[in-house]
Chain A
Amino acid sequence: MTAIATDDALVTLSPRRRRVIKTLDIVGLIATLVTLLGAIIWAFPLYWGLITTLKVENDIVQPGIDLWPRRFSLEAYTHVLFNTKIGTWYINSLATALGTTFLVVFIGALSGYAISQLNFPGRRILWWLILASFMIPIPALIVNHYVLMANFKLINTWMGVILPQLIAPVTVIIYKQFFDSVPKEFREAAKIDGANELQLFFRLYLPMNWGITTALAIIAFIGAWNNFLWPFLAVTKEQAMNVTVGITQVTDAFGVKYARDLGAAMLAGLPVAIMYLIFQRRVTQAIMLTAGIKG
């Protein structure tokens, strides 16, 4: 359609104007090439890191740039997997990220539903509180989160890592907006069908908004998996660390091994990278929603 319209436009233009547009298309081509170049620059560190992990340690420290390994080796990965605690860290990361995700989404959906669909005293105040808590700078609370978790005896536990990550007002806000936009006929139809409030929530509103739940869950998982500061503070024992903390805090006693360090990093980034590649559209949708733009 656009192409046709542009052709029509060209017919009505003077020859000089037509020439201008021709040269401008060269400008467009250059813009595309620059974008492509930028993409290569952006992707290169990832590629370089990944390809290094597949090299033999001795080849890595040879002078010269080998864009492709001279000899392939999975030694870096086998070493990291079998000789470090990365397995334990992985389990810790998985448990805390899944726990955080589940709780954030569950709490957000429940309160978002109540604020959107139920009439109760204090509803308005609660809503304003949630909007206001948007501004919380969570890193400022680390001292007292630590004190609190220490009082609860939760330092070095999964729960201690999870709890302070549950502040997610944006989840409530997004759920409220989505529940608001469900036409009220559905609620009425289900009420006539005999649904109570719990059934309305679990069998109607939640399933009708699976898309947004998936999106929020994915983004919450990625956020929790990637979180560094709090898991770094809340855990002091090696065996309780998350993978993102562990790989930077525990270094090989026998000098720097580039391939192994990078291999561990690749493994740490793998789950979120895979999630993004599978759920690209959901991830971008969720990011835009959390930024306040309807995707």
Chain B
Amino acid sequence: MGTVDLQHVTKRYGNVEVITDLSLKIEEGSFTALLGPSGCGKSTLLRMIAGLEEITIGSCFIDGVDQTETPPSKRGTAMVFQSYALYPHMTVRQNIAFSLSLAHASRQVQAQQVERVSKMLQLDQLLDRRPAQLSGGQRQRVAIGRALVRDPKVFLFDEPLSNLDAALRSQMRVELAKLHQDVKTTMIYVTHDQVEAMTLADKIVVLDKGVISQQGSPLELYNQPANKFVASFIGSPAMNFIAAELGSKNGNAYTVTLPGGHSASIATRGGTASGNSVDVGVRPEHLRLGAAGAAGTSFDGKVGIVEQLGNSTLLYVDTPAGTLIVEAEGNLKVAVGDSVGLTLDPSRSHLFGADGKVI
């Protein structure tokens, strides 16, 4: 139980179209992340599944039943808000039991359910406190508890970790992953943080301006981005894009002439280029650092900025193709102003056409 099926969903506020003819199937028990920048419509989409926003055109099926017109409380969904929205005048116990109390559940049932949920989330010691007396992580757990107590078919998370500091965020990430393993309920998770999406989700849906840009497993999106938008949004530091001139096609690969005169042969994913200029996309970790002028070098350049991160080193290298970011090993001895050669890994490079789509 717990499939969500959005069919040709459009959302308009007045004349502004936020979501355009979007269809999406979410499988039972999956952990799906809706990923995208601010304003891409991901929160609106989540709120339409919750029933908090009306769907202008299209329909929303949960477990095969059309729930487009169903009020939020009757859909079998539960939501964790970005601000948690814990009722400030109630104790943790009352917060968790609120939905049961509204449904006039007996005190006994309420107590049982609160106990079950609070054990699961290690909230048993905090039941009589008020939200103001809790730390950020504890509030987060109460918010989850409030969702959990309803035994929902689908959990909805709206950027739940964005109010936490970095250390707590990674700790809560682990707890969320563990929660999903325990309850095995469908979870839909809205975030603008690609790290959260990559680490938590088994499926990522990237949204751009109200349409699905690409959906797939985290590694699919990372290794085979469908377009420049996904390619640049996923991965940190971001992928380098290099404007190049298209040459001849040999079988599945194009020969391209890179700025600075070197050339490379890069495999397509089956497409054919139109026009003769393309963007070559290559991730910082797929640019190999070598001596300047060595054979097979793709670019010659000078090191502009060095960022020592300990486990790796980020180099901002000024080349004829502009500044390229290179991720190299941690203990690299390199100084600003050094001349270096960069070699791109043709098997891990991507070609994007003028329309931004991968070739």
A residues whose Cβ falls under 8 Å from a Cβ of B: 183, 185-186, 188-195, 199, 203-204, 207-208, 210
The answer on a CB contact under 8 Å between B146 and A193 is yes
Say yes or no: is B336 at the interface (Cβ < 8 Å to chain A): no
Cβ contacts under 8 Å, A188 to chain B: 47, 50, 52, 72, 79, 81, 85
Cβ contacts under 8 Å, B117 to chain A: none
The answer on a CB contact under 8 Å between A186 and B87 is yes
The answer on a CB contact under 8 Å between A193 and B81 is no
Q: Give Cα A183 to B51, complex, Å.
A: 18
With known contacts A188-B72, A210-B89, A194–B99 Cβ distance under 8 A = yes
The answer on a CB contact under 8 Å between B79 and A192 is yes
Give the residue of A193, A203, A204, A210 whose beta carbon is less than 8 angstroms from that of B73. Answer: A193
User: A-B pairs with CB below 8 Å: how many?
Assistant: 59
The answer on a CB contact under 8 Å between B85 and A186 is yes
With known contacts A188-B81, A193-B146, A204–B103 Cβ distance under 8 A = no
A79 to B: closest C-beta gap in Å: 48
The answer on a CB contact under 8 Å between A204 and B87 is yes
Cβ contacts under 8 Å, A189 to chain B: 79, 81, 85, 87, 146
Cβ contacts under 8 Å, B88 to chain A: 208
Q: Told that A183-B85, A189-B85, A199-B102 touch, could you supply 8 new A-B pairs with CB distance under 8 A?
A: A190-B87, A191-B52, A192-B50, A192-B72, A192-B78, A193-B102, A195-B73, A207-B89
- Which of A188, A191, A210 has the most CB atoms of chain B within a 10 A radius of its CB? A188
Within 8 A of A (CB), among B80-104: 81-83, 85, 87-90, 98-99, 102-103
27 A–B contacts, CB within 8 A, in A order: A183-B85, A185-B81, A185-B83, A186-B85, A188-B50, A188-B72, A189-B79, A189-B81, A189-B87, A190-B87, A190-B98, A190-B102, A192-B52, A192-B73, A192-B77, A193-B73, A193-B150, A194-B73, A194-B74, A194-B99, A194-B102, A195-B73, A199-B102, A203-B98, A203-B102, A207-B90, A208-B87
* Identity of the chain B residue whose Cβ is nearest the Cβ of A195 in the assembled complex: B102
B319 to A: closest C-beta gap in Å: 48
Cβ contacts under 8 Å, A207 to chain B: 89-90
Cβ contacts under 8 Å, B102 to chain A: 190, 193-195, 199, 203
Within 8 A of A (CB), among B88-128: 88-90, 98-99, 102-103
The answer on a CB contact under 8 Å between A193 and B99 is yes
* Count of chain B residues near A, Cβ 8 A: 25
Q: Give Cα A191 to B51, complex, Å.
A: 9
Q: Give Cα A207 to B94, complex, Å.
A: 13
A185 to B: closest C-beta gap in Å: 4
Say yes or no: is B71 at the interface (Cβ < 8 Å to chain A): yes
The answer on a CB contact under 8 Å between B85 and A185 is yes
Q: Give Cα A199 to B73, complex, Å.
A: 13
Q: Give Cα A199 to B102, complex, Å.
A: 8
The answer on a CB contact under 8 Å between B72 and A191 is yes
Q: Give Cα A186 to B79, complex, Å.
A: 12
* Identity of the chain A residue whose Cβ is nearest the Cβ of B77 in the assembled complex: A192
* Identity of the chain A residue whose Cβ is nearest the Cβ of B74 in the assembled complex: A194
Cβ contacts under 8 Å, A204 to chain B: 87
0/1 interface trace, chain B 129-168, chain A, CB 8 Å (1 if under): 0000000000000000010001000000000000000000
* Identity of the chain A residue whose Cβ is nearest the Cβ of B158 in the assembled complex: A185
* Identity of the chain B residue whose Cβ is nearest the Cβ of A187 in the assembled complex: B85
A113 to B: closest C-beta gap in Å: 16
Q: Give Cα A189 to B156, complex, Å.
A: 12
